Structure 1
Amino acid sequence: MTYPKIELHVHLEGAIRPQTLFALAAKNKVTLPVDTLQELEDFYVFSDFNHFVDVWNVTTDVLFDADDFRRVVVEYAKEAASFGVSYFEGIFSPGQYYVRGIDGQALFEGFTDGIQAAREETGVEVRLTPDLDRRRPIEISERIVADAVKFRDRGIVGLGLGGRERADPASKFADVFRFARDHGLASVPHAGEDAGPESVRDVIDVLHAHRVRHGIRAIEDATLVDEIIDRDIVLDVCPTSNLRTRVIADWKDHPLPELIASGIPLTINTDDPAMFGTDLGVEHRLAIEAGADPRALFEAGILGQLAGDEVADRLRAIADAHWGVGAVGAGGVGTADAAAGGAGSAR
């Protein structure tokens, strides 16, 4: 049984499969650290965080022009469509390219052109949210925000913040996020992954987060949990990612069952699927086994999406057509829908 899905947290660079990376390297005459596709596939097998950084750098170094950026959007849309995705929000990291001298206009044009191409080729609706990097100079963040605002009418809907949470406080980025919000972009920072609930509270209070990417450690603070629920703040949970980056040592220790039981609205996502050896089917099977209700996940996606009311209405119609018009389990609490879908039918 296939059910509709929404994905709100996927890094497009981290979604590039080895075959595409190999082809782009050849197109752009980039020397890879391996000679064959099989060796590249082996290189993608994740071992530790430093290895992840190596793979990430190799991946971003093969992307050069608008056609490359458009391609990565369309290719992930095709993959997402195969798992029943109706809508996704993709993340990309402009700072990676600015420091290589790539023109911001070509960068944003390529990614946003991918939105239209993805809709035409797959039927999947896409929006984009560029990420700032906590480690980079604030001048680069200011440039990213300025370029993002120019493209807000072409599908740029939010601004993210990535990188190690302990590297720099959220307050460093308060002004650029204020500028983004004042110009129509929502706030969707990473937090509560490798730092505790205080990191989640920081981005909610300082950056006025509409959603929190990851946010899993919010469960450690009952008052914060209540506030998240009261304010309809959606958490974008990425189960396999948390294991691959060693944020969670073992699946049995993952707080996903507690998050579901708490009633927090949450979505299930892949984060960097190609680099972490996962896909949306795997992530949903894990979520269902943890007690999630597929419709509740979809409803949280509608609540958290940044495309606006028209897209929200279309997504609600998709949900009603699949599950029927009626109540949904709060925050992802397991119901008969989960039993009907079954852990083996998440695709």
Structure 2
Amino acid sequence: MAADDRARAHDDVAPYPKIELHVHLEGAVRPATLFALARKNGVALPVDTLPELERFYDFRDFDHFIDVWNVTTDVLFTAPDFRQVVVDYAREASGFGAVYLEGIFSPGQYLSRGIEARELFEGFTDGIQDAWEQTGVIVRLTPDIDRNRPPESSRAIVEESIRFRDRGVVGVGLGGRERSAPTHAFAELFARARDGGLAAVPHAGEDDGARSVREAIDLLGAARIRHGFRAVEDPALVAELLDRAIVLDVCPTSNVRTRVVPHLEAHPLPRLLELGLPVTINTDDPAMFGTDLAREHAFARSAGADPRRLFEAGVLGQVAGDEVRTRLQRIGESHWGRVDAGREPAV
């Protein structure tokens, strides 16, 4: 998208409030921030200059995405680093009208490097308050368990997430390629998370089919599905999602970048909307996929999405609880009038 097109997209979507429920905070670190943090922490980068790093970020394929991801996580060390990641993305998203974010981070990446869980979780949760004070954006956190790691190694992530529930951790996700490990292997961990007061918000229905969405609901007790667009392959599943008002977090550019959708014109978002499924629009890994919240909403509107309905789906899908729901309702009401946050939002 050319600079003029980006400016027009921003002008078009910034005036209305937005809720983003699917953004990986590590994937939102822009090159300039990464470059500065590497220098601060004495970490060698694969390039020597900021322009080279910006070119390194240019997406080529999924393997290259993993390379950039690993460079980013290897640069983050301290609680102030993690706090900055939260605040920086809240500031960026606020410029596009975001009022509420559920940010994802990946504790396994850091715990495996010997970073203490307390340092990690305190840094990210401290970022919640700083983000609110500096940007007015409400942030809550939903750390991911990694399918590529043995389930037992992620038990500490669940326990720390529960421990920091009162600091703004509201759910636990399941990330990584959906076919890399069976969903049932993580069922006990998610039962523990739910018992500890956290919602289950797993990735499903992206690189695997509708079956993975079904497993996320039946085996993990999913309150919301990250991605989930493959549900359209199973009419019975679509009916159940509608009946239970389970929200799907759709990430259009991400789906193209990871090649699970060939191009934006082929994205099933129009079909999801036609079926009446409640969906939110998200960036996933905006810095690494070359996108932002304005671009995603511009595409969603071109596909027939109504901004108010997207907001209502966000109110419905957030897992932070009644207090946040009420605050978001009030924001919506001040912009559009009464927002229906019941179990069956208008579509």
TM-score tier (shorter): over 0.9
Query: For 1:160-189, what per-residue CA distance to the aligned partner results, in whole angstroms no more than 9, with x for missing partners?
Result: 000010011110000000000001000000
Q: Which residue of 1 aligns with 2:329?
A: 316
The answer to which of 246-255 and 120-129 deviates more is: 246-255
For residue 261 of structure 1, give the secondary structure of its aligned residue in structure 2. helix
Q: Which residue of 2 aligns with 1:58?
A: 71
In 1, Cα distance between equivalents of 2:340 and 2:181: 42
Q: Which residue of 2 aligns with 1:76?
A: 89
Of 14, 19, 24, 2:27 maps to 14
> TM-score by structure 2 length?
0.94
Query: For 1:5-62, what per-residue CA distance to the aligned partner results, in whole angstroms no more than 9, with x for missing partners?
Result: 0000000000000000000000000000000000000000000000000000000000
Q: Which residue of 2 aligns with 1:97?
A: 110
In 2, Cα distance between equivalents of 1:272 and 1:43: 15
The AA in structure 1 aligned to 2:250 is: V
In 1, Cα distance between equivalents of 2:246 and 2:340: 20
Instruction: Kindly state the Cα deviation for residue 207 of structure 1 after the two structures are TM-superposed.
Output: 0.3
In 2, Cα distance between equivalents of 1:144 and 1:314: 29
Superposition pairs for residues 1-347 of structure 1, below 5 Å?
Answer: 2-325=15-338, 333=347
For residue 61 of structure 1, give the secondary structure of its aligned residue in structure 2. helix
The AA in structure 1 aligned to 2:263 is: D
Q: Which residue of 2 aligns with 1:344?
A: none
The AA in structure 1 aligned to 2:93 is: A
In 1, Cα distance between equivalents of 2:67 and 2:182: 25
The AA in structure 2 aligned to 1:62 is: V
The AA in structure 2 aligned to 1:167 is: S
Q: RMSD in angstroms over aligned alpha carbons?
A: 1.3
CA contact (8 A) 1:266 1:332 kept: no
> TM-score by structure 1 length?
0.94
In 2, Cα distance between equivalents of 1:317 and 1:209: 27
Instruction: Kindly state the Cα deviation for residue 152 of structure 1 after the two structures are TM-superposed.
Output: 0.5
CA contact (8 A) 1:260 1:332 kept: no
CA contact (8 A) 1:219 1:259 kept: yes
CA gap of 1:326–1:180, structure 2 versus 1, over 3 A, is closer
Instruction: Kindly state the Cα deviation for residue 307 of structure 1 after the two structures are TM-superposed.
Output: 1.4
- Would you say how many aligned residue pairs link Structure 1 and Structure 2? 332
In 1, Cα distance between equivalents of 2:323 and 2:220: 26
The answer to which of 242-251 and 319-328 deviates more is: 319-328
Aligned-residue identity in percent: 67
Q: Structure 2 unaligned segments of length 5 or more: list them.
A: 1-11
The AA in structure 2 aligned to 1:175 is: E
In 1, Cα distance between equivalents of 2:318 and 2:305: 19
Query: For 1:255-308, what per-residue CA distance to the aligned partner results, in whole angstroms no more than 9, with x for missing partners?
Result: 000001111111000000000000000000000000001000000000011111
Query: For 1:59-114, what per-residue CA distance to the aligned partner results, in whole angstroms no more than 9, with x for missing partners?
Result: 00000010000000000000011011110000000000011010001000000000
Q: Structure 1 unaligned segments of length 5 or more: list them.
A: 334-347
In 1, Cα distance between equivalents of 2:102 and 2:250: 14
CA contact (8 A) 2:261 2:267 kept: yes
The answer to which of 313-322 and 157-166 deviates more is: 313-322
The answer to which of 192-201 and 304-313 deviates more is: 304-313
The AA in structure 1 aligned to 2:212 is: S
In 1, Cα distance between equivalents of 2:124 and 2:270: 35
CA contact (8 A) 2:329 2:339 kept: no
For residue 307 of structure 1, give the secondary structure of its aligned residue in structure 2. coil
The AA in structure 2 aligned to 1:144 is: I
Query: For 1:167-226, what per-residue CA distance to the aligned partner results, in whole angstroms no more than 9, with x for missing partners?
Result: 111100000000000010000000000000000000000001000000010011111001
CA contact (8 A) 2:332 2:339 kept: no
